[in-house]
Amino acid sequence: MEKSPPVLQHNLHKNILNMAVIIAALGYFVDIYDLLLFGIVRVPSLQELGYSGDDLLQKGAFLLNWQMGGMLVGGILWGILGDKRGRLSVLFGSIFLYSLANILNGTVHSLEMYAFYRFIAGVGLAGELGAGITLVSEVMTKENRGYGTTIVASFGIFGAVAGGVVAKLFDWRTAYYIGGVLGIGLLILRISAFESGMFKQSKKEGVTHGDFFSLFTNRHRFSKYLKCILIGVPIWYVIGILITFGPEYAQKLGIGIDAATGKTAITGGNTIMFHYAGAATGALLCGLLSQYLRQRKRALLIFLLADIACVFLYVSIKGVSVPMFYFVAFIFGIANGYWSVFMTIASEQFGTNIRATVTTTTPNFVRGSVVPMTSLFLLVKSQTGNIITAALSVGILVLMVALIALWRTDETFGKDLDYVEPL
């Protein structure tokens, strides 16, 4: 593909860089708020629906699987649309859908409707981040785009902290309504953004766009795609299995136990909030480290090794104080905060004509991996009766696979993205 003229690239950078980064960052903020809100309000919402005891874990995992299943479907849908119709159309459609779904989440009175609306929310949530990262990657210079994606991820992750604060101030239904309203407000701001010049140029040249199945018909292309997914899976192993069910681990470890009731003072909302405060810091540090080293892979390796250390720390802090448990969750968040670099390296692996497809589907297959991981986790727990043994069994598997995938992945720092994939 003939490269866009230098003047065009300069104008794109000058005119829409700031707005593209701002909109993508705000969009991810609302995305993360809505995505993690269920984990934050899981216990009070299920209690109001009539569940208690072990059902809070079992039904919580059931609803989480519906949400993540929706993200798998939405990831493919929005990814293809992002390459066929444009990055901004996906930003608009996905934000509208998850905003509507989260408002409806606040109206549920049965587990079945809760599951259905979490599925719809999952479909909507699947599109925003991939489209935003693709847009930012294509409008920034190849040397500096890592800064843009780092800003998007580090600011956006604070959405989980906002969700924790809102859940403390309001009941769980109102928290869902607020998420929906935030998304609708973002749609108004989105009008100020412009489409990627690389995408528009490739459309003019009649290149095939958004061929999702092409990722599976070529061995080399499929290998690159699969390795991108596997590198990111530990992030959602930590969030979906360790952090979301923080109260259950604290109970097992004897942390914050009330002598009268025998229950822990640790809450899912606080665990998620402290973890994501750390993840926002980690996203910033990992992104800056990759820019400083001028290597994505080395930065990812450092954070993956830190993640492994934190997994074993998290499940071995028996009897610590409640503040110390939350501090460990925060440190764990820093180690687990390599999302920005993971997303950047996925975006940089492929050409403009399937870049949105890859960048949108990859994080959603990662998020969707929670479904088989949770199923394996619950199976091992049922066989052993030990939640920590179950968590470590899944964790050791996914972390070792991620290290192998990273080792075999190509370095992409400074790669020119103005090209198309031969399909």
DSSP per residue over 315-353, as a string?
Answer: TS-TT--HHHHHHHHHHHHHHT--HHHHHHHHHTTS-HH
Using CA atoms, how far apart are residues 275 and 160, in angstroms rounded to an integer?
9
Q: What is the pLDDT of residues 339-372, one digit of tens each?
A: 889 988 998 898 888 888 888 889 888 988 888 9
Asked if residue 357 lies in contact with residue 147, where contact means CB atoms within 8 angstroms, the answer is: no
Q: Structural domain of residue 155, as residue ranges?
A: 6-407
**In the numeric block, which tokens belong to residue 124?**
């909507």
Residue 419 in domain: no
Residue 417 in domain: no
Q: Is 257 helix (H, G, I), strand (E, B) or coil?
A: strand
CA torsion angle for 387, 393, 399, 402 (degrees, to 10)? Answer: -120
Helical H runs in 205-351? 214-217, 219-237, 246-253, 268-293, 296-314, 322-335, 339-347
How many domains in the chain?
Answer: 1
The helix/strand count (H/E) of the chain reads as: 18, 0
Residue 94 in domain: yes
Residue in this structure with the two tokens 């061995």, named with its chain if needed: 219
Using CA atoms, how far apart are residues 325 and 78, in angstroms rounded to an integer?
38
| Cross-strand bridge partners of residue 264 | 257
Residue 412 in domain: no
Q: Is 408 helix (H, G, I), strand (E, B) or coil?
A: coil
Using CA atoms, how far apart are residues 187 and 164, in angstroms rounded to an integer?
23
Residue 18 in domain: yes
Using CA atoms, how far apart are residues 403 and 234, in angstroms rounded to an integer?
10
CATH number at residue 296: 1.20.1250.20
Q: Could you list the pLDDT tens digit for every one of the 423 residues in the chain?
A: 334 444 334 444 444 345 778 878 888 888 888 877 888 888 899 999 999 888 888 898 889 889 888 888 888 888 888 777 776 777 778 888 988 998 999 999 999 999 999 999 999 888 877 777 877 877 777 777 888 888 888 888 888 788 888 988 999 999 999 999 988 887 776 655 555 555 555 555 566 666 788 888 889 999 999 999 999 999 999 998 999 889 999 999 999 998 888 889 998 888 988 998 899 899 889 999 998 999 999 999 999 999 999 999 999 999 999 999 999 999 999 999 998 899 889 988 988 888 888 888 898 889 888 889 998 999 999 999 899 999 999 999 999 999 999 999 999 888 888 777 776
Using CA atoms, how far apart are residues 222 and 69, in angstroms rounded to an integer?
22
| Cross-strand bridge partners of residue 257 | 264
Residue 414 in domain: no
Residue 415 in domain: no
Q: Provide the phi-psi class of 414: left if phi over 0, else alpha when psi is between -120 and 50, else beta.
A: left
Residue 416 in domain: no
**In the numeric block, which tokens belong to residue 111?**
């587990």
Residues 6 or more apart whose Cβ sits within 8 Å of residue 237:
369, 370, 373, 394, 395, 398, 399
